[in-house]
């Protein structure tokens, strides 16, 4: 063992890079899937955001739930939130699917809850 105090300045910090979705989530487990809310089906009941508070929040313009963080809660708590959804609009998906799902959702004409449907 060396007593060289400059060793701390010679070791490079690990490059953290961009998040891949496979980082350890809370609890030290690896999660293979991402969680996704189909906002076109969400009825804004707020159950999911009340259960997994570090994962779901209510989007303020349309009043529907949205995942704001993939590693905010453990898998069991997220599953509990999914199970509370009365319209089954929350799913586990592959991380690679998220971009497509977001694009499809953007192409739908989602109206704020409480407004009558477009004719
Ligand atoms: S539980 Fe389902 S319907 Fe209720 S806010 Fe969450 S996603 Fe929307």
Query: How far is it, in rounded angstroms, from Cα 92 to Cα 31?
Result: 10
The pTM assigned to this predicted structure is 0.74
Ligand 1 binding site (Cβ under 6 Å of any ligand atom): 37, 42-48, 64-65, 84-87, 89-90
Asked if residue 60 lies in contact with residue 17, where contact means CB atoms within 8 angstroms, the answer is no
- pLDDT-derived band at 26 (thresholds 50, 70, 90) equals very low
- Which of 1-10, 19-28, 84-93, 95-104 is least confident? 19-28
What are the phi and psi torsion angles at 40 (to 5°)? -70, -20
State which CATH number among 3.40.190.90, 3.40.50.620, 3.30.70.20, 3.40.640.10 fits the domain covering 30-107: 3.30.70.20
Residue of 35, 83, 90, 110 to mutate, ligand 1, most atoms within 8 A of C-beta: 90
Q: 119: CA distance to ligand 1 center in Å? A: 25
Q: Where are the domains of the chain?
A: 30-107
Residue 48: partners with Cβ closer than 8 Å, 6 or more residues away: 37, 55, 56, 65, 81, 82, 84, 85, 90
* Residue 50 Cα to chain centre, angstroms: 14
Angle at CA of residue 84, ends 63 and 76, nearest 5°: 115
């Amino acid at each position: 063992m060396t007593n060289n105090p400059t060793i701390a300045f010679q070791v490079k910090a690990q490059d953290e890079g961009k998040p891949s979705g496979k980082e350890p989530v809370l609890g030290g487990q690896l999660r293979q899937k991402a969680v996704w809310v189909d906002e076109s089906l969400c009825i804004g009941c707020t159950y999911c955001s009340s259960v997994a508070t570090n994962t779901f929040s209510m989007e303020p313009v349309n009043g529907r739930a949205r995942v704001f963080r993939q590693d905010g809660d453990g898998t069991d708590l997220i599953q509990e939130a999914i199970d509370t959804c009365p319209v089954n609009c929350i799913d586990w998906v592959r991380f690679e699917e998220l971009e497509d799902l977001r694009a499809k959702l953007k192409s739908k004409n989602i109206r704020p809850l409480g407004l009558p449907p477009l004719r």
